[in-house]
Amino acid sequence: MLSKEKIEYFKKKLKEHKKETEGQLSEVARPNLQAPGEWETTVPDMNVRVSDKNELADTFEEQETREALEENLEKHLMSIEKALKRVDEGTFGICSICNKEISEERLEAYPMAEYCIKDARNKPQT
């Protein structure tokens, strides 16, 4: 069982990850005011001439890249928030499938871990 000190350590680490991820997200997106907790990709100002097909293609490519990055960062942020919720609920460090302790080594490498290594390997991908 994780000690209170270790749980506080991981909570601090998660909060640092959250701040870092929100910073990265703010470079490619902004919070969606109509849907709290969600982000929407911002369009970069590339000063494109509409008549230039190559510049227009570059703009679309940049937008697609930003959307993919935003989606990945948003998923990562959600996993951090879920881990912080488990800390608050007292279930952090406990596998959500088998209810056994998740190793400190796994939590050190991936503090958002919801499953022990055995169940993470056996869990069907969704």
> According to the model, what pLDDT value does residue 45 have?
63
Tokens of 15: 């909060």
The pLDDT profile of the chain, 126 residues, written as one tens digit per residue, is 899 999 999 999 999 999 999 999 988 888 887 887 788 888 766 565 566 677 667 777 877 888 899 899 999 999 999 999 999 999 999 999 999 999 999 999 999 999 999 999 987 765
Distance CA 69, CA 72 (A): 5
pTM of the model: 0.80
Query: Could you give all domains of the chain from N- to C-terminal order, each with its CATH number?
Result: 4-122 (1.20.120.910)
> According to the model, what pLDDT value does residue 47 have?
61
> According to the model, what pLDDT value does residue 52 have?
65
